Copies of this chain bind each other. A is one copy, B any other.
Amino acid sequence: MEPIPVAILGATGVVGQRFVQLLDGHPWFRVTTLCASDRSVGKTYREGCRWLLDTPMPAWASTMILQPTTAEAVNEPIAFSALPAEVALEVEPQLAQKGCVVCSNASAHRMEEDVPLLLPEVNAEHVELIHWQRGRRGWRGAIVTNPNCTSTGMTVVLKALDRVFGVKRAIAVSMQALSGAGYPGVASLEIVDNVIPFIRGEEEKVAWEPRKMLGTLQNGQVVLHPIVISAQTNRVAVLDGHMVCLTVECESRPTLEETIHVLETYTVPEFIADLPSTPRPPILVRLEEDRPQPRLDRMSGRGMSTVVGRIRADEVLDLKMVILSHNTIRGAAGASIYNAELIVRAGWLA
């Protein structure tokens, strides 16, 4: 198979860098355009990007010239977007209009009813919304979004539980990594010897996004799942890896053994089981008393697995547990790439 050319929008930021890193050597995709904001356009990627990852910047990327963030600059069939919401709002539809499938990490279009909020392990069938999106908007391309980095791991777990036990209510308290705030993001003076119990806009997303992803597709519309979620989100001094302490109420109270079994045996649909980014396993259950931990477990399944531990019966609701997922891989760049792979496999490229 000929590699598919792809563009990265917002290529110099924390998530943009992850796109570059994860697409280095990708078996299906080859990056042919890197877009950045005005102050970096015309520079090489090496000059325009403050690279913060601990693997070296790929040589092919370092000499690429940064392009403007416009529809004209992108002629690839797939664009990965790490744009700020307000820029995404404008540029992503223009790209979809001209035939590009935009796999977007931006929050701008997640709530629109004909835009898939896609997590292949959870709602691969929602990719069908592209059909309705194209019909309604007259686009040849499409916009497909992935969820907020904190929603990601808990939605995978909620889905696994929901299929068997039905989920009714959940309380999520997060401890989130610094990379989730981008660069420069959180000032060091604010986080050394500290915790910040507030992340703007985050709790609303964590409460709503899982309902769309767990929802059912009916006649081109997603019927939201009735689960009620309460979120408290906190920033801690961790580089990568969002942890969520989750407490869940189910329709029928499962035993611990049932819960562990259901999570460990959770699989993705057959037709996407062999995509390059499919997490192996989708859910990794750790039985030690003190796992998962961000530094030790965030790279499980090359950063794509959802890691669950400390599964216990809960005294107030039914179950409690700790969930970890890598926020800039499974929760951002890896998510968009995985979505793109699903789209290619399902034949939705323009």
Of A141-149, A151-159, A232-240, the one touching chain B = A232-240
The answer to whether the Cβ of A61 comes within 8 Å of any Cβ in the partner chain is no
Known: A299-B54, A316-B170. A178 touches B192 (CB 8 A): yes
Interchain CB contact (< 8 A) of A315 among B55, B179, B230, B298: B230
The CA-CA distance from A290 to B317 in the complex, in Å, is 28
Q: Please state if B171 and A236 are interface contacts (CB–CB under 8 Å).
A: no
Copies in the complex: 4
The answer to whether the Cβ of A327 comes within 8 Å of any Cβ in the partner chain is no
The answer to whether the Cβ of A189 comes within 8 Å of any Cβ in the partner chain is yes
The answer to whether the Cβ of A173 comes within 8 Å of any Cβ in the partner chain is yes
Q: Please state if A230 and B247 are interface contacts (CB–CB under 8 Å).
A: yes
Q: Please state if A239 and B195 are interface contacts (CB–CB under 8 Å).
A: no
Q: Please state if A232 and B320 are interface contacts (CB–CB under 8 Å).
A: yes
Interchain CB contact (< 8 A) of A175 among B170, B187, B190, B195: B195
Q: Please state if B236 and A315 are interface contacts (CB–CB under 8 Å).
A: no
The answer to whether the Cβ of A309 comes within 8 Å of any Cβ in the partner chain is yes
Within 8 A of B (CB), among A184-226: 184-198, 207
Q: Please state if A193 and B294 are interface contacts (CB–CB under 8 Å).
A: yes
Q: In which size bucket is the chain A interface?
A: 35 or more
Q: Please state if A236 and B175 are interface contacts (CB–CB under 8 Å).
A: yes
The CA-CA distance from A292 to B239 in the complex, in Å, is 19
Interchain CB contact (< 8 A) of A193 among B169, B193, B230, B291: B193
Q: Please state if B173 and A183 are interface contacts (CB–CB under 8 Å).
A: no
The answer to whether the Cβ of A228 comes within 8 Å of any Cβ in the partner chain is yes
Known: A178-B188, A315-B207. A294 touches B230 (CB 8 A): no
Chain B residues lying within 8 Å of A228, measured Cβ to Cβ, are 315-316
Interchain CB contact (< 8 A) of A194 among B207, B295, B299: B295
The answer to whether the Cβ of A289 comes within 8 Å of any Cβ in the partner chain is yes
The answer to whether the Cβ of A59 comes within 8 Å of any Cβ in the partner chain is no
Chain B residues lying within 8 Å of A189, measured Cβ to Cβ, are 14, 52, 178-179, 183-186, 239
The answer to whether the Cβ of A1 comes within 8 Å of any Cβ in the partner chain is no
The CA-CA distance from A198 to B320 in the complex, in Å, is 13
Chain B residues lying within 8 Å of A52, measured Cβ to Cβ, are 189-190, 296
The answer to whether the Cβ of A273 comes within 8 Å of any Cβ in the partner chain is no
The answer to whether the Cβ of A243 comes within 8 Å of any Cβ in the partner chain is yes
Interchain CB contact (< 8 A) of A195 among B186, B194, B236: B236
Q: Please state if A232 and B245 are interface contacts (CB–CB under 8 Å).
A: yes
Interchain CB contact (< 8 A) of A229 among B54, B237, B315: B315
The CA-CA distance from A299 to B230 in the complex, in Å, is 30
Known: A52-B190, A185-B188, A186-B188. A171 touches B316 (CB 8 A): yes
Known: A192-B178, A316-B228. A245 touches B54 (CB 8 A): no
The CA-CA distance from A316 to B184 in the complex, in Å, is 35
The answer to whether the Cβ of A134 comes within 8 Å of any Cβ in the partner chain is no
28 A-B interface contacts by CB (under 8 A): A52-B189, A56-B300, A171-B171, A175-B234, A175-B236, A178-B189, A179-B189, A183-B189, A184-B184, A186-B187, A188-B191, A189-B239, A192-B192, A192-B193, A192-B295, A194-B238, A194-B295, A196-B290, A197-B293, A198-B289, A229-B315, A230-B314, A230-B316, A230-B320, A232-B247, A234-B243, A236-B237, A237-B237
A-B residue pairs, 5 tightest by C-beta: A198-B290, A184-B187, A173-B173, A194-B295, A230-B315
